[in-house]
Structure 1
Amino acid sequence: MPSNLSHDVPGGARTEAARGCAIVYFDLGETLVHTTEDGSTGYLPGAAAYLRELRERHISVGLITNVPSSWGETDAERAAALKKEVDGSWKGSAPFAWKDFGDRILTPRTEAERKPAPVLWERARAEANGCRLVYQAETAEETDVAASLGYVAYRTGQPFRPAYLPARVIEMLAHRPR
């Protein structure tokens, strides 16, 4: 009798893993957005187009970002405060693509959870349903921690390299054994 491969697996992780999946997590500041000296915020060059390409390729995205834990009791409350902060200083013709991130905006619950502590990356992995995890940020300290936890880590903003890990590479990684 054939067995249901995804029974007893939360969210159908085996089904997702069988067809390949990846979730790309980002730091926010100086990875996707930049705050100028006048306090305004906008996309870094290429960030909006990159997020659009990931969306068109059906690659899920999330944020792992430090905000004060006092901004709310839950990730949703802290994410709402973050959105308000960013949107309040936003300059640019296209608004930030918050809808792409859904509920995958992870923030510290306590000050001890702030990056580079591994807690936020561990929480993201626990919710990944077996998908390949990618983390992109501008600092070596954060990408080193992510890599040590099994993420494919990519440091953005490096000379002579693409601004972001190419989407086609992420698609290939999604189908490689973990």
Structure 2
Amino acid sequence: MNRSSSTGWGRVGLVLGAVLAATTWCVPAGAAVPGDADAVARPGAAPTCPVVYFDLGETLVHTADDGGIGYQAGAASYLGALRRRHISIGLITNVPPSWGATDAERAARLRKEVDAAWTGSVPFAWRDFGDRILTPRTDAERKPAPALWERAKAGSGGCRLVYQAETAEEVKVAASLGYVPYQVEQAHRPAFLPVGLVELLGRRSR
């Protein structure tokens, strides 16, 4: 990592540390927002800022030993909290390039594969992601290569971008490209980036 990206990572770490210490900003993942209980996201519309991208496997969903797939602990309520606040979300995830010629085709195959093995009582919230599901067109684009993050950034309209994943290497690559990084499921801090902080980042996106 070059000096500029390392410095950026340090600034992000300071911001995250300060906000995570301020418990009044650490909104619980399932907390409701007054007056918006029936609000829904509008996938397909221009994204609102910020845009929160996720890895999929072992970040939002967990694959059990028997092959069944369900939500990772806390993920469904966290996605619901983002939805209620009209925060745009997306996926940056590796799938075989042979699954389709376009992101839409590969996303459709991904949905089919996940839904076929789904064992959770609540279906996965595909609708919330709209067309913001980015997958590799070639093996060379597979993460941790930067291509998928670069493509997401090019389509962001200048919004601040967040990336959340369980893999430290992916989080570091995203940080080097200007994303606000967050490694999920770490001890002694929230499982996901607190929604209050995500909203604050949105106010600083422009």
Q: Could you tell me the TM-score, scaled by structure 1's length?
A: 0.88
Kindly state the Cα deviation for residue 119 of structure 1 after the two structures are TM-superposed: 0.3
Match of 2:101 among 61, 70, 73: 73
Equivalence for 2:183: 155
* Counterpart for residue 160 of structure 2: 132
Counterparts of 1:22 and 1:177, CA distance in 2: 6
Give the AA of the match of 1:77: E
Following the alignment from structure 1 to structure 2, what is the Cα–Cα distance between the partners of residues 170 and 92? 27
Equivalent in 28, 31, 53 of residue 81 of structure 2:
53
The answer for the alignment partner of 2:35 in structure 1 is: none
Select the residue among 76, 93, 113 that pairs with 2:121.
93
Q: CA deviation at 1:92?
A: 1.3
Could you give the per-residue CA deviations for residues 79-138 of structure 1, whole angstroms, max 9, x where no partner exists?
000000000000111100000000000000000000000000000001101111000000
Percent of aligned pairs sharing the same letter: 71
Aligned partners of 2:163 and 2:180 also within 8 Å: yes
Q: Gapped runs of 5+ residues in structure 2?
A: 1-45
Displacement after TM superposition at 1:177 (Å) = 5.4
Q: Once superposed, what is the RMSD of the aligned Cα atoms?
A: 1.3
What is the deviation of 1:167? 0.8
Paired position in structure 1 for 2:41: none
2:196 and 2:124 map into 1 onto residues whose CA distance is: 23
Q: Which of structure 1's runs of 4+ aligned residues deviate more than 2 A?
A: none
Aligned counterparts of 2:147 and 2:128: Cα–Cα separation in 1: 23
The gaps in structure 1 that reach 5 residues or longer are: 1-12
